Structure 1
């Protein structure tokens, strides 16, 4: 899989010129924002609330993030990078099965609720989910699309569709089922979905 920027570096897009960020302070802000989203909801996760919870000044937060939406997405991204790391080693098929199963499991908990809330916030405030795609989904989608392409190249994946369409079929299906409460959604279902849609050989 081709190298790309790490998820840990993805928030640099929000950094403005000036004094370099403190990793400790950045983590405190991101962790506080996610904790507030998960426990009190997005409406209560204001910049003021994050500043109080993290013991970081509002001035610092506004300096490092261009908007509240950007902060919420980066907080979600940071948590996702810890909870759902992109697979780095192993055969493409197995890495895809593992990640899809972990995503399905995560959707059933607070992670799923927070993800849906953040997307809804972005659409409500801006009219589109573009900022969510730019700051979160784009990188992860590109990495997994490249993984599918690698499996097609080594012939462990038999599906001949474009890697982008195959990725969307897998993860779009899981998210669709989650949003509308369609059963079943489970790690086992996610693994079977990957095998079926990608026509994985040697299951």
Structure 2
């Protein structure tokens, strides 16, 4: 998988051959995401991405092991720009968690949410699970935010005593659950309140 950003991006070992062009890689990923958002996944074929990005199908097939991997990487590329992980300098762990959860809740209401759900559904329909999505997209982001929660527990700014990975899942699993089933509107304010309810930040 092409290196998209410093957040980390999957575990597929690099293939031998000519180095990848960053410009060409970005063109492919941006074209794939644009097509997913505008026409849906069914129309986002390798042929369509090749035409839209003006890159040969051979290049795309050489750089990605499957169409699903390309779609996930395109989503990752977009998410890294739209929903970056909060840097340590941006406040306490609880403050950063509130900000990130609120941004995620807002993103779910637009094309980002629709594309994410479509990509996950595609993985499940093709492979029987969303494991590929987790491995190529979610794992690194989950690990980073779990580490942030653990740091807050260690410095005393987060009072919740559960395992940090369980606390993360309670927040983001809860937001995604409400979004998928349309149980109630998801707002940034709701996300911030959920973070406080789960993490019990000090002060």
Q: TM-score range by the shorter chain?
A: over 0.9
Partner of 2:46: 47
User: What is the CA–CA distance in structure 1 between the aligned matches of 2:189 and 2:73, rounded to whole Å?
Assistant: 29
Whether 1:126 and 2:123 are equivalent positions in the alignment is no
Q: Give the match for residue 172 of structure 2.
A: 171
- Partners of 1:102 and 1:57 in 2: CA distance: 36
Residues 26-75 of structure 1: CA deviation (Å, up to 9, x unaligned):
00000000000000000000000000000000010011000000000000
Mapped contact 1:14–1:65 kept (Cα < 8 A): no
In the alignment, the residues of structure 2 paired with residue 12 and residue 200 of structure 1 have an alpha-carbon distance, to the nearest angstrom, of: 34
Distance in 2, Cα, partners of 1:12 & 1:34 = 21
Q: Distance in 1 between matches of 2:52 and 2:187?
A: 34
* CA RMSD across the alignment: 1.2
| Superposition pairs of residues 57-68 of structure 1, within 5 angstroms | 57-68=56-67
Cα shift readout 1:68-87 (whole Å, capped 9, x = no counterpart): 00000000000000000000
Aligned length: 197
1:33–1:75 contact (8 Å) kept in structure 2: yes
Deviations 1:109-131 (A, max 9, x none): 00000000000000000011110
Gaps of 5+ in 1: none
2:11–2:135 Cα contact (<8 Å) kept? no
Measured in 2, the distance between the counterparts of 1:34 and 1:15 equals 23
- Cross-structure match for 1:159: 160
Report the equivalent of 1:186: 187
Match of 2:138 in 1: 137
User: 1:6 corresponds to which residue?
Assistant: 6
CA distance in 2, matches of 1:68, 1:105: 28
Q: SS in structure 2 opposite 1:85?
A: coil
- When residues 11 and 142 of structure 1 are mapped into structure 2, their CA distance, relative to the original with a 3 A threshold, is closer
Q: Secondary structure at the match of 1:71?
A: helix
State the alpha-carbon separation in 2 of the partners of residues 42 and 189 from structure 1.
30
TM-score by length of 2: 0.94
Structure 1 residues 144 and 98: CA distance shift in structure 2, 3 A: same
- Structure 2: how far apart are the matches of 1:109 and 1:140? 20
Stretches of structure 2 that go unaligned for 5 or more consecutive residues are: none
Distance change >3 Å, CA 128–CA 186, structure 1 → 2 = same
**Secondary structure class of the residue paired with 2:112:** helix
Structure 2 vs 1, CA of residues 15 and 39 (structure 1 numbering), >3 Å: closer, same or farther? farther
**What is the CA-CA distance between 1:12 and the residue it aligns to?**
7.0
SS in 1 for 2:160: coil
